[in-house]
Amino acid sequence: MHTWIKFCATTSLDDALASIEAGADALGFVFAPSKRRVTAEQVQAITAEIPENIQRVGVFQNEELERVLATTEQAFV
């Protein structure tokens, strides 16, 4: 049995690679107000360098659906 693991608040490629090395199945990116908040551009640069089988998860707070869709479409290309 495999335990599914998601590391949240990824802010850099180094964070992402360390999480993957530790066994992450998914990486979380915070788009809500937070000291670990990232932009869609930052996430796009990170996710371009990680394996496609690693799931990407966006964290939002009280955001309009259209904004969530636009952000994730740009970030998770």
Q: What is the DSSP letter of 3?
A: -
How far apart are alpha carbons 37 and 29 in whole angstroms? 8
Write the single-letter amino acid at 54. Answer: I
pLDDT, tens only, 9-54: 999 999 999 999 999 999 999 999 999 999 999 999 999 999 999 9
**Residue 68, pLDDT above cutoff 90:** yes
* CB atoms near residue 29 (< 10 Å): 27
Report yes or no: 62 and 44 within 8 Å, Cβ to Cβ: no
CA 68, chain centre distance (Å): 13
Domains of the chain: 6-75 (3.20.20.70)
